[in-house]
Structure 1
Amino acid sequence: MATQGREHTGGGPKGKKAADLESTPLVGEPRDVLAGEREPDSPAIDLALSGTVFFDIVLTGLASAPASGTEVGAEGMGSCPGGVANLAVAASRLGLRTAVAAAFGEDVYGDFSWETLGTQEMVDLTASRRIPDWHSPFTVSLAYRGDRSMVTHEHPSPVPPAEMARALPQARAVFVSLRPDADLPEWALDQAGSGARIFADVGWDDSQRWDGSVLEQLKHCHAFVPNAIEAMSYTRTGSPASALSALSEHVPVAVVTDGPRGALAVDQVSGETAAVEGLVLDAVDTTGAGDVFGAAFIVGTLAGWPLEQRLRFANLSAALSVQHTGGSLSAPGWADIAAWWGQVHAGHSEADRRLAGDYGFLTGLVPLPWLPTDQRRASATIGLRT
């Protein structure tokens, strides 16, 4: 995972403004990391998700949050689908066949989000619905000083996403966000009953109670991926390592992400433990970095990679995502990963040599003779005509 404000490693040049650092993600050939795992009777979908899709407007490069009665300038902006779309797009760009159950309004915001997910990002929306006379959920995100603040407006969907989720195709894995005030969704349990592995995270607890009932839900899950603060709060421990040890008593695969300090995990299925340092690149917007980490970790798990490789790949994917605006459309594809890997191999510093050793597994995934195209994806904005 990555944040702004620390010395960069393998990233863009120091001292530049956020607007100068940002570039549009590259387009590359789709890569199916599960090609060798696919059988005629295996699930057609790799990852199933259900939740709310927000229309996000992200403003970047603010010197500070606006105080009452004031106006501040933003160096950059972008618009993209947010919410559950963040993880869905990240997974799809890394090669997972992904399906989402969500409500979309029949407004311009809904049109844009539906087309972006279904057509541009190849996310299966057969379980989703367009809702007439209901406007799409909307969020404005202000990115400044390596963090962000958000303002959201939404009305509950007339058709709950959990109801739509019953129509999701059978998947290899599902992803859910645990809540202390609700049980694990029935649709996810049904998927697990047919062989899917449940991956879970948890949202911030505004009440600060950190209800332990969340941990009880982990008995149904394959993996749990909270950040360090969430993990320590729910386990009542004082360090990420202690929190990881406590979580491993509840779930087969426990992962604790710790921002620029990296991530640590225990996989009781394979008998592995791993801890990797963070990969810090110059940041434009940190929105969605946790979702990208989660998607990349699922990719590595379904592909059967060693635990340390899964953590490094997830760290790299999250770090690359913060170089672009928005949560979903900032997610890297294989071309972005290949470009970074080529840059590391072209470098001559001690840091580059260390990275080349740590990420040597990428040679089999993005061989150096393979180069991404110069074509770039559409910028994260709505209705831009060229």
Structure 2
Amino acid sequence: MAETEPAEFDVVLAGPVFFDIIFTGLDSKPSAGTEVWASGMGSSPGGIANLAVAASRLGLRTALASVFGDDVYGRWCWDVLSSREGVDLSQSRLLPDWHTAVTVSVAEDGDRSMVTHGHDSPISDDTLLEGGIRSRAALADLGAMSSDAAGDSWWLRAARNGTRIFADIGWDSAEAWDPNDLAPLESCYAFTPNSREAMAYTRQDTPLAAARALAKRVPLVVVTCGSDGAIAIDSETGEQISVPSVPVTALDATGAGDVFAGSFVLGTLRDWPLEQRLSFSALCSALAVQHFGGSLAAPGWGDIADWWDRIRLDGDRDLAKRYGFLSDLLPAERASAVRRAEATFYLTDHLPTSEPHSESPADQTPMRGTR
């Protein structure tokens, strides 16, 4: 990226946005012919919005290219992202007569299960970003990257212009785990799979062995291991780091990996040491799972400062030592805690009724490979 053309954004993302409804605190497990009550419920923008909000809440200039349905769900997600979360949607489109994908997520036993309905977008990510966008980093889904038949997709053009590509990948519902899906990594800067995905694609028995195999394909690999922490290998320097998780009471794991990835991008763009980046991302992910709501559970600097104050007051020496770097990172001006997911959302008369980027959709087909 030429010095005469500074990046307009810190991070750009492209992909589908979902309207998420999250249920927590079930009184029993769902089964056929029964009704289950939940003690908690939240609504939030989901899908790629998880990453966008996580990045924006940490102060990254964030742009999102996506398609929103011109229905209550879509307009509410648009309003939350653009007006309340500071995500730039100038590359996105609001489509009349096309409905927003909806996901119902049920959180229990520290994990979640989801049911989704939606349609493939009639406008591709490449079309949304055909004019180009100057960004220091981009977060992209490896599944979409590997299935791209054009050979000159938006992320490849961005990579050639100096944008660092951070790739993630979703669960392979067919469980084929085709190694050819990893081919786009040769144009990426970093890859951030979870341990199950990493081991399945590399045919390795441990997260560390999987990380070492993936490090042969990409300069930086980070394997997240849930309650066992995370592993990172920088193949350019040979540095290998592992960090433990931060102990918390988990409520909802929705979007935790996205929060980790967004936090890691922040640390990378700020040139933090690898161990510090990994520890910071583990903390942000842990803070997120204490709340329900996917994207709206992502922490901001106020939440991080509140946690750091509690750790120092409670006298947890191990955590205080491990996270001592926060004293130098936290903004001098105290930030407030960010807004969380709520059980309901705005009435229709509170939402914008039109958007300058509205377009008519093409024929709708069932959505494939949602998440």
Q: Report the TM-score when normalising by structure 1.
A: 0.85
2:162 to 192, 195, 198: 195
CA distance in 1, matches of 2:152, 2:99: 25
User: What aligned pairs does 1:340-359 form with structure 2 within 5 A after superposition?
Assistant: 340-348=307-315, 352-359=316-323
SS at match of 2:59: coil
User: What aligned pairs does 1:90-109 form with structure 2 within 5 A after superposition?
Assistant: 90-109=54-73
Whether contact under 8 Å (2:9, 2:134) holds in the other structure is yes
User: 1:273 deviation in Å?
Assistant: 1.6
* Alignment-derived partner of residue 146 in structure 1: 110
1:226 to 188, 193, 204: 193
CA distance in 2, matches of 1:198, 1:376: 28
2:303 to 336, 351, 356: 336
* Alignment-derived partner of residue 210 in structure 1: 177
Q: Aligned pair 1:301/2:268, yes or no?
A: yes
* Alignment-derived partner of residue 382 in structure 1: 345
CA deviation profile, 1:36-75 (whole Å, cap 9, x unmatched): xxx8742010101100000011111114431111011111
* Alignment-derived partner of residue 273 in structure 1: 240
CA distance in 2, matches of 1:145, 1:382: 27
User: 1:269 deviation in Å?
Assistant: 3.5
User: 1:300 deviation in Å?
Assistant: 0.5
Whether contact under 8 Å (1:101, 1:127) holds in the other structure is yes
CA distance in 2, matches of 1:90, 1:285: 15
CA distance in 2, matches of 1:310, 1:262: 13
Question: What code does the residue aligned with 1:331 have?
Answer: A
Whether contact under 8 Å (1:292, 1:317) holds in the other structure is yes
Whether contact under 8 Å (2:216, 2:235) holds in the other structure is no
Whether contact under 8 Å (2:297, 2:341) holds in the other structure is no
Question: What code does the residue aligned with 1:190 have?
Answer: R
SS at match of 2:24: strand
Question: What code does the residue aligned with 1:94 have?
Answer: L
User: 1:317 deviation in Å?
Assistant: 0.3
Question: What code does the residue aligned with 2:217 have?
Answer: H
User: 1:268 deviation in Å?
Assistant: 2.6
* Alignment-derived partner of residue 173 in structure 1: 137
CA distance in 1, matches of 2:333, 2:62: 26
Q: Aligned pair 1:136/2:100, yes or no?
A: yes
CA distance in 1, matches of 2:87, 2:272: 24
Whether contact under 8 Å (2:111, 2:253) holds in the other structure is yes
1:248 to 200, 215, 220: 215
User: 1:216 deviation in Å?
Assistant: 1.8
* Alignment-derived partner of residue 82 in structure 2: 118
Q: Aligned pair 1:182/2:147, yes or no?
A: yes
User: Structure 2 vs 1, CA of residues 131 and 203 (structure 1 numbering), >3 Å: closer, same or farther?
Assistant: same
CA distance in 1, matches of 2:340, 2:138: 28
CA distance in 2, matches of 1:284, 1:234: 29
Whether contact under 8 Å (1:86, 1:328) holds in the other structure is yes
User: More deviation in 260-269 or 110-119?
Assistant: 260-269
- % identity of equivalent residues: 51
Q: Aligned pair 1:67/2:31, yes or no?
A: yes
SS at match of 2:49: helix
CA deviation profile, 1:122-171 (whole Å, cap 9, x unmatched): 10100000101111111111111111111111022222233213245211
CA distance in 2, matches of 1:283, 1:209: 31
User: Structure 2 vs 1, CA of residues 241 and 78 (structure 1 numbering), >3 Å: closer, same or farther?
Assistant: same
CA distance in 1, matches of 2:301, 2:162: 28
* Alignment-derived partner of residue 53 in structure 2: 89
* Alignment-derived partner of residue 48 in structure 1: 12
SS at match of 2:181: helix
Higher RCO (C-alpha under 8 Å, 6+ residues apart): 1
* Alignment-derived partner of residue 360 in structure 2: none
* Alignment-derived partner of residue 42 in structure 2: 78
User: 1:340 deviation in Å?
Assistant: 0.3
Whether contact under 8 Å (1:339, 1:372) holds in the other structure is no
User: Structure 2 vs 1, CA of residues 365 and 287 (structure 1 numbering), >3 Å: closer, same or farther?
Assistant: same
CA distance in 1, matches of 2:213, 2:30: 41
RMSD across aligned C-alpha pairs, in angstroms? Answer: 1.9
Q: Aligned pair 1:324/2:291, yes or no?
A: yes
The aligned length equals 342
CA distance in 1, matches of 2:227, 2:152: 32
CA distance in 1, matches of 2:133, 2:346: 31
User: Structure 2 vs 1, CA of residues 290 and 378 (structure 1 numbering), >3 Å: closer, same or farther?
Assistant: closer
Give ranges in structure 1 of 5+ residues lacking alignment. 1-38
Give ranges in structure 2 of 5+ residues lacking alignment. 351-371
Whether contact under 8 Å (2:25, 2:38) holds in the other structure is yes
